[in-house]
Amino acid sequence: MTKSNLFGKGGWTPSRIESANGKTFLITGANTGAGFEATRILLSKGAKVVMLNRSPSKSHDAIATLKQEFGNEANVSYIRLDLSSLSAVRQSAKEILSQVPTIDALICNAAIAQISTQQLTEDGFESQLGVNHYGHFLLCGLLFDRINESKGRIVVVASEGHKMGLRTMQFNDMNWDKNYNPNKVYSQSKLAQMMFAYELQDKVKAHNKHVQVFVCHPGASNTTLIRESANWVTRISWSFMVKIGLAQSAEKGAYPEVMCATENNLKQRAYYGPTGLMNFGGPVGEGKLEEFAVDKEVLTKLWAVSEEATDFTWSF
């Protein structure tokens, strides 16, 4: 079930962006997939984009490709970011703050998915929760003041997968040591990202800050997210979806995050993405925000758990 589309039958498209000249966008996981396509769209509108990626070689290749398309004057750069390491996130944030004077939007796009067997980050977190949630939680906190200075935005890229698990946090075993399941753990990590965003909205309002926070999802997009890390059943199922055309292009998968980073007059307590069959694709607009994703008791507890886990207390 979706709401009537604010942008008409065809939904939101990048044609609505008149110009992004003078705007600076940071995108995590921007050297491939939807993050790369979001970078392309924003560069085509005159924006400055700073890609935050783990791989230097892939980043250099991506920049070369983009400059071949848009010319050497394309304002695209790269700062290394490894979301699986809290110390690395802190170091990257220092570099960002020293090199990027203005942040108009931070798009939290990077993710890992369906890791077939339990893996832990160097900080001892289950890897999907550690990368998708804790890494972004810390990064957003470290950059928040800079984003607030420009009355900027934080865009959290979630997933329809948030509906496929427990629909809450397994607080008594966040690492799923006793009952690890790649899909359910991925679901928890994406739900955690959403809950972080909605709790941040409440805190921004309570402290009279100027950051807008949006949540979106890319639908079923043909990106590199599901690869060798997934089990064979997931890989085969995904390959079948791609073959029969249920998975849309990575470019269209980027539309929701670009929309949330640029479009005026969007509602914040909302969930945006494709609104077609099963929300896999179709016109981009506002979808249904499930009640469990905004359960205030869980939101508040997750925030406290996340501050303790990352050893970072947000200051408003």
User: pLDDT digit of tens for each residue in the chain (316 aa)?
Assistant: 456 688 988 999 999 999 999 999 999 999 999 999 999 999 999 999 999 999 999 999 999 999 999 999 999 999 999 999 999 999 999 999 999 999 999 999 999 999 999 999 999 999 999 999 999 999 999 999 999 999 999 999 999 999 999 999 999 999 999 999 999 999 999 999 999 999 999 999 999 999 999 999 999 866 555 445 544 444 444 344 444 445 678 999 999 999 999 999 999 999 999 998 787 889 999 999 999 999 999 999 999 999 999 999 999 8
Q: Would you call 244 exposed, middle or buried from its count of C-beta atoms within 10 A (0-12, 13-18, 19+)?
A: exposed
Cα–Cα nearest to 302, from 218, 177, 217, 190: 190
Q: Report d(CA 104, CA 152) in Å as an integer.
A: 4
- What pLDDT sits at residue 228? 52
Q: Report d(CA 8, CA 34) in Å as an integer.
A: 23
pTM score of the predicted model: 0.92
Q: How many other β-carbons are positioned within 10 Å of the β-carbon of residue 194?
A: 25
Token pair recorded at residue 34:
């939807």
DSSP letter for each residue of the chain: -BPPPTT-TT---GGG----TT-EEEEES-SSHHHHHHHHHHHHTT-EEEEEES-HHHHHHHHHHHHHHH-TT--EEEEE--TT-HHHHHHHHHHHHHH-S--SEEEE-------SS--B-TTS-BHHIIIIIIIHHHHHHHHHHHHHHTT-EEEEE--GGGGSS-SS--GGGTT-TTT--HHHHHHHHHHHHHHHHHHHHHHHHHTT---EEEEE---SB-SSSSSTTS-HHHHHHHHHHHHTT-SB-HHHHHHHHHHHHH-SS--SSS-EEE-SGGGSSSSEEEB---GGGG-HHHHHHHHHHHHHHHT-----
Cα–Cα nearest to 193, from 109, 69, 115: 109
Q: Please identify every residue annotated as catalytic.
A: 186
**194 close to 156: Cβ distance less than 8 angstroms:** yes
Token pair recorded at residue 59:
């980043």
**280 close to 246: Cβ distance less than 8 angstroms:** yes
